[in-house]
Structure 1
């Protein structure tokens, strides 16, 4: 087992240089798209620790080796893109973490629970449980990150629509308006800004507007962004006023959000019933009936 781990670590370290070249290429593309200032700022950011880079490079080596099917890689990529991880680094880190944890967690389980359930059965349970946990843990973390990412994106869509309406009223084209909204909303909602930035980059390289907007909805899987894509496509196809369509969609989204809040508020009395019975009613019974019980016990002891 130790020899296998050493071989895996050595292969990962050998691939760090390839990962570094990939990072430099991405920086040059960002520099060409956004200009010297943004490229320099991006270049000043740290690339991550050596361990993260090694695990990512090892995962990319496994992904490119053909050991995993194309369908599996597509599903992993979709999950990671939905969680906000773009490019090969996220996929490599995901695959590398699953494989390394598959070998490391059984050892950790065995050393931690060494005195618990000795014997062959206990050893099988520890090693098997560690292997299963190592395979499922990265996917659970990625799914959790994806869920929170999509919640943040959905929460910020009405505000982004209002800002896009302002940009359209100011005379900006749709491509420039999306880029401006992504820039302005980056501090308020970084997750939505990331999705809009990718959409803006796809528009800048000359992709078709319909395909880009459709990709925005399919990439996230959110019904809100699918409706936004449909609204923009219909506005461009039939020539309807863009600002009017965006205002109507923003009003609908805010009304739906208000309805959801009202539904949650209506469920509060039902949700509070069990805590009230468990925590509040016993205290009320003690306060109300406690003195009477004490008096009865005092009378009984007197007699």
Structure 2
């Protein structure tokens, strides 16, 4: 009986885990639907978040569309295209201050702090941190996406130059670049794909390129749009313009990489001073200190 009981417990736990895995795994029909519409799961999560957080957004969201327009542009710069994303954004700006303040209050009560002024100060700081946390997250997303697009756009410009010199038109070359650049940068490929869809829907090339610059928020893409518009308007060679522009883009990317490399010693100074130098000092000086103590302590004991 002493051996049979652990075996039965092991079998019961194993069967429970296997049953849970089978229950949570999608069926064949669900897998086919996911293959046909891969963004359905993401949309469901977004709709759930909107239903949960959306009612709280009315407390902090602006009422006019003029105030929401810059925020929608920032969402596009971050790659967020869901129409109700601002509800989640303002809902989190309402809930996070309350949650952070509650956590700060519980932490101070746990530590035994009773000073009312100090407690109010900590609660205000926690609420401010929760209020500005969505802004920081959105800023980080925008910065990362802009950097990815900027670093990969020179390669896209080179591919565009090759396509134009090979005899393709600008629209066909842009579609070809969208297919090829997707391997390296999904964000840039998505933006170029939206530009192709706008031109196929009947929008002018100038307006589509301006919208591309607005969605990405990258200055170099705005210059690219202006260059193509002027070349198309004045009848200059698009190939020569793209050649000069791609050379300038590669130079800017190299300069920015050199700038980031030059900042590395300054950024490494603080970790070296706080983390590495104390450890090195302890490793080097500890044997000498131990030896000095062993030599000096007997002398002091003998003198006393």
Normalised by the size of structure 1, how large is the TM-score? Answer: 0.70
8 Å CA contact retained: 2:165, 2:239: yes
Report the alpha carbon displacement of residue 191 of structure 1 after superposing the two structures with TM.
Answer: 1.6
Q: Partners of 1:245 and 1:113 in 2: how far apart?
A: 64
Tell me, which stretches of 5 or more residues in structure 2 are unaligned? 1-32
Match of 2:106 in 1: 111
Distance 1:250 1:102, change over 3 A: same
Match of 1:148 in 2: 144
Q: Quick check: which has more Rg, 1 or 2?
A: 2
Q: Partners of 2:131 and 2:211 in 1: how far apart?
A: 30
Q: Of residues 32, 42, 46 in structure 2, which corresponds to 1:48?
A: 42
Report the alpha carbon displacement of residue 254 of structure 1 after superposing the two structures with TM.
Answer: 0.9
Match of 1:79 in 2: 74
What is the CA RMSD across the aligned residues, in angstroms? 3.9
Q: Partners of 1:48 and 1:274 in 2: how far apart?
A: 41
Distance 1:44 1:211, change over 3 A: closer
| Deviation by residue 1:239-298 (Cα, 9 ceiling, x = unmatched) | 22222221221111112222333344455566667777775699589869x879969985
Q: Of residues 130, 133, 146 in structure 2, which corresponds to 1:137?
A: 133
Tell me, which stretches of 5 or more residues in structure 1 are unaligned? 1-38
Normalised by the size of structure 2, how large is the TM-score? Answer: 0.69
8 Å CA contact retained: 1:55, 1:93: yes
Alignment coverage as a number of residue pairs: 264
1:98 aligns with 2:90: no
Match of 2:196 in 1: 200
Report the alpha carbon displacement of residue 183 of structure 1 after superposing the two structures with TM.
Answer: 2.7
Q: Partners of 1:66 and 1:250 in 2: how far apart?
A: 42
8 Å CA contact retained: 1:59, 1:92: yes
1:250 aligns with 2:260: no
| Deviation by residue 1:72-104 (Cα, 9 ceiling, x = unmatched) | 312221221111111414323222222232443
When structure 1 is superposed on structure 2, of 43-52 and 221-230 the one drifting more is: 43-52
8 Å CA contact retained: 1:78, 1:219: yes
Q: Partners of 2:139 and 2:239 in 1: how far apart?
A: 35
When structure 1 is superposed on structure 2, of 72-81 and 122-131 the one drifting more is: 122-131
Match of 2:24 in 1: none
Distance 1:49 1:77, change over 3 A: closer
